[in-house]
Amino acid sequence: MVVESREWFLSSYAADGVPTSEHLKLRSVKLSLDETSIPENFVGIQLLWISVDPYLRSRMTGHMDGLHFPQFSLGQVISEYGIGRVIGSKDSKFTEGDIVINPFMPLSEYSIVPNTFLRKVDPDNDMPLPEYLNALGIPGLTAWVGIELVGEAKQGLNVFVSAAAGGVGMFAGQLAKLKGCRVIGSTGSNEKVKMLKEELGFDDAFNYHEETDFDAALNKYFPNGIDIYFDNVGGKMLEAVLNNVNKGAKIPLCGMISEYNKAWTDRDGVRNLLNLVGKEVKMQGFIIGSYLNHLGQFEMDMQEYIKAGKIKSKTMINIGIESFLESFASIFSSSNVGKVVIHVAE
Amino acid sequence: MVVESREWFLSSYAADGVPTSEHLKLRSVKLSLDETSIPENFVGIQLLWISVDPYLRSRMTGHMDGLHFPQFSLGQVISEYGIGRVIGSKDSKFTEGDIVINPFMPLSEYSIVPNTFLRKVDPDNDMPLPEYLNALGIPGLTAWVGIELVGEAKQGLNVFVSAAAGGVGMFAGQLAKLKGCRVIGSTGSNEKVKMLKEELGFDDAFNYHEETDFDAALNKYFPNGIDIYFDNVGGKMLEAVLNNVNKGAKIPLCGMISEYNKAWTDRDGVRNLLNLVGKEVKMQGFIIGSYLNHLGQFEMDMQEYIKAGKIKSKTMINIGIESFLESFASIFSSSNVGKVVIHVAE
C-alpha cells in the first residue's frame, strides 16, 4: 500500500517570535507501507491524535535553549506526543488495529516508527483517546510531578498557578485542591477566570491582562503569602511572586511560556532573587523524563481521579493535520482553553 | 563606674549606594556600669572584637529587603556579631572577666546587654579570639551549611565559588576541597587569585575585573560544567553560571553582595532562569538561623579542621571602633582579603 501523507517539517529556524508559515511548512509525500517497506522492529502508523505543547517551541530556535531539548534539523518532520493506529508491524507485540501512544510521533498522517517508545492503549480502559494526551499525558504528568514531588503540596498551603487554564496549569490547580490547598490561578481572559472558579474548583483566579500590577494582585489574593508557586510563565510574574513568598516556599519550574519566543538576552530578567535568601525559598527545575519511575503511581492516581470526577479536563480540539500551525500559535496568544490537541483522523 | 563609650548609630537610611558618614555616625555617651545600673538578667560588657558582615547593609535601607532582617531604627546603635569581656553581671552564669560571644553585640565600646544570646568562650580552647567571628562564626557556619547541607558536596563534583577570597567564600572553597571536589573561585584582584591557589588550595581562580566575559571564563574553567555554585554575589555572575550548569546542579544562595547597594528595581535581572528547567537545577536560599540544630556538628568539624591545619582563615584586622565605616565600605569595594573584623580593645 502506498499512501499520500501530509507532514509538517521545519523549513527555517525562528530565533524569536511565534513561528509562522515561513518556518513550519506542510508537504505531501508518498509513503509505502508494504510489508517489505517496514524494517524489523518498526511499525507503520496512521496518526489519529497529536498533542500541541509549548516546549516544542524550544526545538525550533536553532540553538540549544534552557529546556535543553535537541533542535529539529532543517527539513526534519516535527515530532510530538501522539496517538496512532497500527497499520503494519514488524514487531510481534503490535498488530494491525492496535492503538498506540508515541512520545515522539512524527507530525505525519502516516509514518514508520521504531518500536522503542511505543505503548499500547488498553482497549478495555474506558477513557477517551485525547485524555492520553492530556490528563494522562505530558500535561497531567508535569502537573503531578510539580505539585506532588517538587512542590510537596500539603493541606492548608497557599498555592499560586500561572497559565492556570492551560494544559498543565488546570491540572496543577486541581491536584493542589485535592491535597487540601487554597489555590489561586492567573489566566488571560475573564471567561477563563470564570471557568477556573466555577468548573475547576479554584478558590479564586484573576485575568493578568486586567490586573496588570502583578505585585498588587498577588498581595491582594494572598493575604497570607504564597507557599507554592507552580510557575508556567517565568518573567514578570515570577518576579512578583518572589515579592510575596512565605518562608520555605517551593517554586517548581517546568517551563516558561512568556519567554520562549524571545532571544534569551531579551528576556525579562528577574531582579529580586535575593528574596530567595531571606525567605529560604527552593526554586527547582524539573523535566518529566527524570520521573518516569513514578509513572505507575501517577497513572493509578490520575485514572482514579478522572473516573471519580475529581479531575476535569479541558481540551481544545482542532481538526485536521493542516491546523497545526494555527494550533501552535494559539498557545502563545493565550487564546486556548485547556490542552490543545489535533484530531487528525478517526 | 561611669565610662565614656563611643558607639556607631544609624543617622539616616541609605536607599542605595555604599553607606557613608551621612548615614552612619559615631557618638560618645556616658554609661554607668554600677551594679544598680545593670538590670536582672543583663550583663555589662566591654567590646573587644566586632565582625563586619555584608548582610548588615540590608538593615540600613529603610525597607525590608530580600534578606528579611529587620531595619535598624534611626538613632539606634548598630549591632553585629561580636566578642566582649564581662565587666558586670546580673546573671549568675556570667562573672567579671568572662569572654562572651554575642550575635547582636552593640557597636559600642561598652554596653549593657540581655543574657539571651550570650555564649561563654571556653578559656581552655586554644583558639585566637577573632576565629570565633570567622571560621567558627557567621562566615564559617554559612559556608558549612551551604556546602554540606544545601549544596550536598560530594567527591568529584565541580564547584564554583564567587567572592571566593571573602569571609564566606574562602571557607566554602576549602570545605568543598575537603569533600574531594574540584574548586574554582572568582575574586577581585590578582593578588587574591594567587592567595586562593597557593594558600587556600583552590584548583584555580580568576580575577573578574580582568576576565569580564563571565560566560567565557566559566566555560574555560569548567570544561565539564558546574555541579555546585556557591553564590555570594548574584546578578551577572549568577546568570553566567546558569549558562554553564550541569544536570541536577545545586545553587545554595546565602546573600548577593553585588546587589545590596542597589534599589531592587535597579538590580541586574537574571534572564536565563529557563536554564533551571532543562538542567533540573535546584536553587535554594538559606539563612543560618534555620540550621542552628547543626551547630554542634559544625563546631566539632570546624575546630578539628582548624587544629589539623586543613582549614585556613584569612582575617583583615582593623584597629579601633572608629574604623567601622571604612571597614564596612571595604567589603563592597572588594579591597578586603578574607574576613574583616575590628579589634576594639585588648
Domain B138-290 has CATH 2.30.30.60: no
The partner residues of B79 in beta bridges, in order of sequence, read: B106
Q: Where are the alpha helices (DSSP H) in A308-342?
A: 324-330
- Which residues of A are less than 8 Å from B239 in CB distance? 269
The whole-number pLDDT of residue A257 equals 81
Q: Each residue of B287-311: pLDDT tens digit?
A: 998 998 998 899 999 999 999 999 9
What average pLDDT does this structure show over A192-212?
97
- pLDDT-derived band at A335, boundaries 50, 70, 90: confident
Q: Is the pLDDT of residue A239 over 90?
A: yes
Cell numbers for A12, please give them: 527555517
Best of A277, A281, A290, A291 to mutate (most B CBs within 10 Å, chain B): A277
Pick among 3.10.330.10, 3.40.50.720, 2.40.30.10, 3.40.50.1970: CATH of A141-290 = 3.40.50.720
What average pLDDT does this structure show over A305-314?
95
- pLDDT-derived band at A121, boundaries 50, 70, 90: very high
Q: What pTM value is reported for the model?
A: 0.91
* φ, ψ dihedrals at A29, nearest 5°: -130, 160
**B214 to chain A, minimum CA–CA distance in Å?**
15
Q: In the predicted model, what is the mean pLDDT of chain A?
A: 94
Q: Each residue of A275-302: pLDDT tens digit?
A: 999 999 999 999 998 998 998 899 999 9
Q: In the predicted model, what is the mean pLDDT of chain B?
A: 94
At residue B55, the 3 state secondary structure works out as helix
- Which residues of A are less than 8 Å from B274 in CB distance? 65-67, 234, 255-256, 259, 264, 267
Inter-chain touch B285–A285, beta carbons under 8 Å: no
Cell numbers for B200, please give them: 587556600
The residue ranges of chain B whose pLDDT is under 70 are none
Q: Which of A234, A266, A276 sits opposite B274 (nearest CB)?
A: A234
Residues 236-265 of A with CB under 8 A from B: 238-239, 253-256, 259, 264-265
Q: Which of B69, B255, B290 sits opposite A280 (nearest CB)?
A: B290
Would an 8 Å CB–CB cutoff place A149 in contact with chain B?
A: no
**Cβ-contact A41, A61 below 8 angstroms:** no
Q: Which of B67, B259, B276 sits opposite A253 (nearest CB)?
A: B276
Q: Each residue of A33-75: pLDDT tens digit?
A: 988 999 999 999 999 999 999 999 999 999 888 888 899 999 9
- Which residues of A are less than 8 Å from B225 in CB distance? none
Q: Which of B266, B271, B277 sits opposite A287 (nearest CB)?
A: B277
Q: Each residue of B64-116: pLDDT tens digit?
A: 888 888 999 999 999 999 999 999 999 999 999 999 999 999 999 999 999 99
Would an 8 Å CB–CB cutoff place B69 in contact with chain A?
A: yes
User: What CATH superfamily classification does B2-124+316-343 receive?
Assistant: Medium-chain alcohol dehydrogenases, catalytic domain (3.90.180.10)
Domain ranges of chain A: 2-134+313-343, 141-290
Q: Is the pLDDT of residue A336 over 80?
A: no
CATH assignment, A2-134+313-343: 3.90.180.10
* The dihedral formed by the CA atoms of A195, A287, A257 and A144, expressed in degrees to the nearest 10: 10
The whole-number pLDDT of residue B37 equals 93
DSSP state letters, A118-187: -EE--TTS---GGGGGTTTSHHHHHHHIIIIIIS---TT-EEEESSTTBHHHHHHHHHHHHTT-EEEEEE
